[in-house]
Structure 1
Amino acid sequence: MNCQICGAHLPEGAMFCGGCGSSTSATPITRKRADPRPSDTTIIQPLAPRTTVISVPWWPAGDGPADDQPADGGPPTVRPAGAHAAAPAEKSEPARYTLQFSTGETVSVRGSGLIGRRPLPQPSEQFDHLIQITDLGMSVSKSHLEFGQHDGEFWVNDRFSGNGTVVRRAPAPALRCEPGRRYLVGRGARVEIGDQFFMVL
């Protein structure tokens, strides 16, 4: 028995042609028939990624730990984006923060931004600030870190940088950020990016 489409020899009992992949019942006429279900294709929109906000509380020396920080010094509470103890009644304007860099720059920010040696957003991204810092040792990646606000609280997100991001806020221990996750930091925290750092004020 031979394939009726490509003519290849078919073994006894074969259901498909090993040469062209056609069904053994296919003929040149059936291959030319119109698609009986032309509108059977459904385009499924990709799901929007769920962002997880990791609360990294900060408190002044002498005060107790925040409500979501275990007293035994365990890992901080992980809560989904949108979950907050007290949601504001109205959407307010983002708070203003000052970022004081070890390289000498001081930048006042409000909203979102990218920090790096040559920060470059993806085509679909928009940021309020692009902050370029000098790092002769090149320990800071081109687009090292993303920042923004969640219910008025400042957060940072390591953009899969080469040397990583570490958040330090006394008296809690230092925390190395997992790339792609947002970490809340308070005023007075120190954020280390490669060999450089900046203070959140």
Structure 2
Amino acid sequence: MTSGDLGDLVVLTIREPAAALRVLRGLDLPMSARWMALLLAVTLSTLLAMLSLALFPIEVESPVSAVLSSPAVLAGVQFAAMAVSALMMAQVGRWFGGQGDFADALLIVAWVELLLVGLQAVQVLMMLLFPATAAMLSVLAFGLFLYLAVAMTKALHGFSSTGKVVLGFVGSLFVLGFVLSLLAAALGIVPEVTP
């Protein structure tokens, strides 16, 4: 795959996610290459986060900022979160009658994360040149993530209803967020609120 093909795939992913998924599947990547793509995305994202933190230090000390300041911990958390996301994308979709599998879900998560890393790089640059526009890029990145997550999940499982995929996606996020907040509280990561 050349850089031109990669650029075409980026555009295709945004315009027609289902067609982009067919191209990604057509690459017939082994499972090890899918894991390596996810590892590459997490590594690049962590490097950009560390660069951003060096350029714009976080003043407030909190458990979250402590996690963000350690590259190994941040990378580990991101990698685990992406792997769990792929697992949930595959499993929850199958519970609702979808046909997708974990290998393709992992490929989707890695590819979407790589696209978001590209936006993250642009955001770091924009923070240096035009700080006011960096926040708009954050909103754009979040919107792109939601759009691609829903569209690619729909394509992965062969679903016809976008609304049902959105409901399933949002419901899964709430359940996962609740479980993770309980886990974080049990591990002492979330600070206690005192009256």
TM over 0.5: no
Query: What TM-score range do you get, normalising by the shorter chain?
Result: under 0.3
Q: Give the alignment's TM-score, normalised by structure 2.
A: 0.19
- Which has a greater percent of strand? 1
Task: Compare CA radii of gyration and give the structure with the larger one.
Answer: 1
Q: Give the alignment's TM-score, normalised by structure 1.
A: 0.19
- Which has a greater percent of helix? 2
Of structures 1 and 2, the one scoring higher in RCO (CA 8 A, sep 6+) is 2
